[in-house]
């Protein structure tokens, strides 16, 4: 139990939400439906033979057949209406090749889808390493896509032949007693072919899934990555009025409210007048001289 919990903890289950893993789950599921509906089929038809002598009649002749539809091995006993032992009659046709090919492709698709899902969940880092995993996955997926197309088409044709070979009206022609006009032969129950029809539908659904999955596996290879890169952004060439490396002038610089003094004539006169009033007047300066500074020729020096 601890090993299981550890594996679950290490698993990258997010890959199952992306198309690569989600389509693989669908492939796994529809592969099971395809080979199981074909490989597990068994059908039965019923006929009635009424002889002129009613005691020899058989009103419930059952003919059973199943996968792999080797009808020439299937037989039934029918009255001869001549008073003897019933004759053994075999069906006609061998359609095992197309049926077995279809089932084989389905089984191997199921096994590969299981292995791929395990790698996606638990070994996705190694799967992406050196693109070897995606390349192998792409090749195998392409092979399965082709095999599903071939096997589904072959089985569709084989199923059509099985329907003809097991048609009660066709089987009645094999009974010798039905050639006589005094005897009456009729069908009682047709075989149910809905399961086989569904298997053909599942086969072509698998074709769509495996072909569609090729694109998502191809993307994981990285082959297309260089072609999906965005083109580099083109630099805007400098204008004729702007030198390379110069800063572009802010268009809102003139609206940012810096004070610009008004140097017109009137404003300049007011500034000069204010400056003159702030300076001390020369007329108010103290012109009194100290006695030491008096001139020698001052007439009142001796007083």
Q: What does the pLDDT look like over 219-261, one tens digit per residue?
A: 888 776 666 555 565 655 555 544 445 444 544 444 444 444 4
| pLDDT-based confidence at residue 294 (cuts at 50, 70, 90) | very low
76 domain residue, yes or no: yes
Q: Determine, yes or no, domain membership for 205.
A: yes
Domain that holds residue 132: 10-222
156 in any annotated domain: yes
**Quick one: pLDDT at residue 254?**
46
Residue 58: predicted pLDDT: 87
Radius of gyration of the chain, Cα coordinates, nearest whole angstrom: 52
Phi, psi for 49 (deg, rounded to 5): -120, 115
Strand, coil or helix: 89 = strand
- 154 burial (CB, 10 Å; 0-12 / 13-18 / 19+) is middle
Task: Note whether residue 85 is domain-resident.
Answer: yes
Q: How far apart are CA 188 and CA 168, in angstroms?
A: 8
Phi, psi of 61 (to 5 degrees): -95, 115
Q: What's the number of domains the chain is made of?
A: 1
The verdict on residue 282 lying in a domain is: no
297 inside domain: no
Please answer whether residues 152 and 42 qualify as being in contact, where contact means their C-beta atoms are separated by less than 8 angstroms.
no
Average pLDDT along the chain: 79
Q: Looking at the domain assignment, is residue 153 inside a domain?
A: yes
- Is beta strand 184-189 parallel, antiparallel or unpaired with respect to 58-66? unpaired
Residue 105: per-residue pLDDT: 97
12 has pLDDT over 60: yes
DSSP letter for 123, please. Answer: S
From CA 99, how far away is CA 35, in angstroms rounded? 9
Q: Among all chains, which residue has been given the structure tokens 């500034």?
A: 271
The overall pTM is greater than 0.85: no
Q: Is residue 148 part of a domain?
A: yes
């Amino acid at each position: 139990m601890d090993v299981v919990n550890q594996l679950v903890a290490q698993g990258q289950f997010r890959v199952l939400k992306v198309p690569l893993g989600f389509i693989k789950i669908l492939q796994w599921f529809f592969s099971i439906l395809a080979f199981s509906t074909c490989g597990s089929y068994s059908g039965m038809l019923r006929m009635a033979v009424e002889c002129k002598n009613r005691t020899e009649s058989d009103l419930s002749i059952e003919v059973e057949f199943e996968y792999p539809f080797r009808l020439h091995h299937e037989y039934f006993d029918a009255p001869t209406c001549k008073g003897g032992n019933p004759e053994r009659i075999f069906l006609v046709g061998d359609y095992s090749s197309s049926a077995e090919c279809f089932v084989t492709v389905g089984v191997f698709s199921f096994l590969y889808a299981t292995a791929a899902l395990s790698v996606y969940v638990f070994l996705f880092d190694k799967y992406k390493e050196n693109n070897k995993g995606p390349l192998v996955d792409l090749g195998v997926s392409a092979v399965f896509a082709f095999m599903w197309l071939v096997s589904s088409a072959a089985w569709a044709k084989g199923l059509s032949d099985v329907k003809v070979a097991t048609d009660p009206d066709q089987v009645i022609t094999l009974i010798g007693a039905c050639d006589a006009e005094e005897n009456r032969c009729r069908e009682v129950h047709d075989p149910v072919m809905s399961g086989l029809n569904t298997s053909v539908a599942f086969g072509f659904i698998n074709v769509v899934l495996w072909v569609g999955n090729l694109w998502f596996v191809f993307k994981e290879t990285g082959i297309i990555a260089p072609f999906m890169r965005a083109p580099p952004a083109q630099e805007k060439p400098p204008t004729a009025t702007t030198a390379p490396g110069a800063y572009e002038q802010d268009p809102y610089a003139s609206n940012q409210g810096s004070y610009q003094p008004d140097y017109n004539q009137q404003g300049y006169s007011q500034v000069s007048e204010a400056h003159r009033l702030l300076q001390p007047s020369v007329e108010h300066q103290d012109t009194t001289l100290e006695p030491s500074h008096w001139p020698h020729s001052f007439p009142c020096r001796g007083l």
